[in-house]
Amino acid sequence: MPGVDDLDQNVPYPLLSDPPNIESAVGNLVNAAVPRLNMRFADANARAAAIPSPTPGMECFLIAEQRKEIYDGTTWVTITPTGWVPITFLSGYEARGGSPAYRIVNQCVELRGSARRVGAGAFSRGVAFAIANLPAIARPPAYRTYIAATEWAADLYARVEVEPGGNIVVIVAPTSTTTPASWVCFDGIRYSLV
């Protein structure tokens, strides 16, 4: 019967009293140690194929997604910053500046950049409209609401909501102003994924 490491990690090693079998001894050691290492996979699909039943505490780096994740017993959680991923705009809206994108940093999403209507027309004031949709990995568990910059006027602001379904919704206010708003800024918007 093999020995087990002193730190209760269940990593076996051969004892001198074990029958000699180097292939079995090294194989048992490798199979016990690898799940405790920072594994690397081409993407999340390759990881799912290789590890259909992950164990809490497993760590991996996803090459295509450029992120490190740890399995918390329920789901894979991003624990390092991802690269900036461009925001996908809905029909009628486009990037204005600042390379609109999101990234995930320690279970939080950060947004950047600004958006406008295609053709740079003014937004309707006092009306909620969805301008973009985020993928499932970047969606908050509940509604998140922020005050955001729009135009350079003292009598105008925008409210940005990020919905659990992924929509980025904008409402320009107040309705009493005549100042047109044709863009909204996402810089400084950050929310928790938990």
* Rounded Cα gap, residues 115 and 123, in angstroms: 11
Span 84-143, pLDDT tens digits:
999 999 999 999 988 999 998 878 999 999 999 998 788 888 889 999 999 999 999 999
Instruction: Give per-residue burial for 23-58: e unless 16+ CB within 10 Å, then b.
Output: eebeebbeebeeeeeeeebeebeebeeebeebeeeb
Residue 154 confidence class, pLDDT cut points 50, 70, 90: low
Residue 1 has pLDDT above 60, yes or no: no
Closest CA to 57 of 32, 29, 37, 40: 37
SS3 content of the chain, % helix, strand, coil (to 5): 15, 40, 45
Which pLDDT score, from 0 to 100, does residue 153 have?
A: 65
CB burial of residue 70 (10 Å; 0-12, 13-18, 19+): middle
* Rounded Cα gap, residues 131 and 115, in angstroms: 8
**Residue % of the chain over a pLDDT of 90:** 49
pTM of the model: 0.64
Residue 15 confidence class, pLDDT cut points 50, 70, 90: confident
Residue 156 phi, psi dihedral angles, 5° rounding: -145, 140
Closest CA to 156 of 126, 136, 129: 126
